[in-house]
Amino acid sequence: MKKTEINIQPITAFTKRYENAVVSKSREIRLSIEEAGLLNAAMVNLLSNNIDEILKTIISSDNSVENQNQNQNENDVIEIKMDAGSFKK
């Protein structure tokens, strides 16, 4: 997937507004529809540019858990009793 240039200015602008709101103890941050649209577009571009890395991380994490489970199962001992034919782990 080809990565595109991301305009992070809307994210930077929102971050500054957030920091100012925290300092002034504001309870809300207001954005115009245009500002919200630009912020949304920047975040979507950022996520879409990194989707391959995100998916690889998810798959790697899933494989790691699966390998741990498989290793645990290989180390389990199964006891078979012939008298009642029961199985114990």
Which one-letter DSSP state was computed for residue 77?
-
Identify the band that residue 46 occupies on the pLDDT scale cut at 50, 70 and 90: confident
pLDDT at 4 over 70: no
Query: Who wins on pLDDT, 36 or 54?
Result: 36
Of the given ranges (17-26, 62-71, 76-85), which has the lowest mean pLDDT? 76-85
Q: Domain segments of the chain: what residues?
A: 9-80
pLDDT (0 to 100) of residue 18: 94
- Which residue type sits at 4? T
Identify any residues that bridge with 88 across adjacent strands, giving them in sequence order.
Answer: 79
